[in-house]
Amino acid sequence: MSNENEINYTPDLYTLVDEKGEEQTFELLDAMELDGERYYALTPYYPNAEDLLSDDGELTILKSEFEGDEELMVSIEDDEEFERIASIFLERIENIFDDFDDEEDEF
């Protein structure tokens, strides 16, 4: 029987292929549109929670690019653009976790 306070979480997963042709699965943490571009903040996905402990916690920041009708997630080549977008994502993610911590304190 399910506890009514139990939270069911299904992550948004994406399998991406890098420049070397290697596949890796990522979990989407956040997405945003800014200046007509769409950006994604992802982290490697580990089905086994113990594997997550050895992860360095680094975010992967990608942007949307279209080839015909197909949307691709691609690296941000411009260093200034990358730093600006990464900074915004870090602030947004910190706020999400701060809000979550505040909600837990209320119980």
Give the model confidence (pLDDT) of 33-92 as tens digits.
999 999 999 998 888 878 777 777 788 999 999 999 999 999 999 999 999 999 999 999
**What single-letter amino acid sits at 102?**
D
Asked if 26 and 44 touch (Cβ cutoff 8 Å), the reply is: yes
Burial of residue 26 (CB within 10 Å: 0-12, 13-18, 19+) is buried
What span, in angstroms and rounded, lies between the C-alpha atoms of 73 and 55? 22
| Residues written for the chain | 107
**What single-letter amino acid sits at 32?**
M
pLDDT digits (tens, 9 = 90+) for 15-47: 998 889 999 999 999 999 999 999 999 998 888
User: Would you tell me how many other CB atoms lie within 10 Å of the CB of residue 93?
Assistant: 15
- Whether pTM > 0.85 for this model: the answer is no
Asked if 32 and 92 touch (Cβ cutoff 8 Å), the reply is: yes
